[in-house]
Amino acid sequence: MFKNLLRRKEERRGHDYFAELTRFTKNPARLTEIKEAVQNQGFWQDSYEWRISTVLDARIEPVEEKSRQWFRVTVKCDHEFLCHTQTIERAVFFVALYQQLIIDMFYNLGWASASPAMIQEHNYLSW
């Protein structure tokens, strides 16, 4: 099944989902805010309450791994996404991507930690 998805990658290139994120993450004021926080504090961190008592935590911090400089991106909210990027601009993009993905998964699939009864009650896709 996964191989079939990989074969269809051309169909998914340039998807509007990613184009919208690119427009959002190229905001000069936001990039400046994040760069200044990383320079002054050693990291940038943000918490965003997108539902009542449901908070997305995001963090960008410079790290060295295998003798290379990276920006570690972490986004958490029931799920935890982490990656390393070479530039702060790319880190900002992946923060936005992971935040949007967590929200979209909630509304389409429910929480990963949801009980089978909750999934059925809300008519989420179930596996």
Higher pLDDT, 26 or 86: 86
Would residue 26 count as lying in a domain?
Answer: yes
DSSP notation for 12-35: HTT-HHHHHHHHHHT-HHHHHHHH
pLDDT band for position 19 (cuts 50, 70, 90)? confident
Residue 29 lies in a domain: yes
Whether 53 is in a domain gets the answer yes
- On whether residue 127 sits in a domain, the answer given is no
In a domain, 92, yes or no: yes
Average pLDDT over residues 5-11: 56
Q: Which domain holds residue 65?
A: 2-121
Both structure tokens of 95: 């923060």
126 found inside a domain:
no
Q: What is the CA radius of gyration of the chain?
A: 17
Share of the chain above pLDDT 90, in %: 46
Per DSSP, 120 falls in state: H
In-domain check, residue 97: yes
Q: Can you read off the two tokens belonging to residue 69?
A: 């400089």
Report how far residue 94's alpha carbon sits from residue 84's, in angstroms, rounded to the nearest whole number. Answer: 9
pLDDT of amino acid 122: 65
Cα 127 from Cα 29, distance rounded (Å) = 42
| Residue 88 DSSP symbol | H
pLDDT of residue 50: 85
For 29-72, write each residue's pLDDT tens digit.
989 999 999 999 999 999 989 888 889 999 999 999 889 999 99
Q: How many domains does the chain have?
A: 1
- Report if pTM > 0.95: no
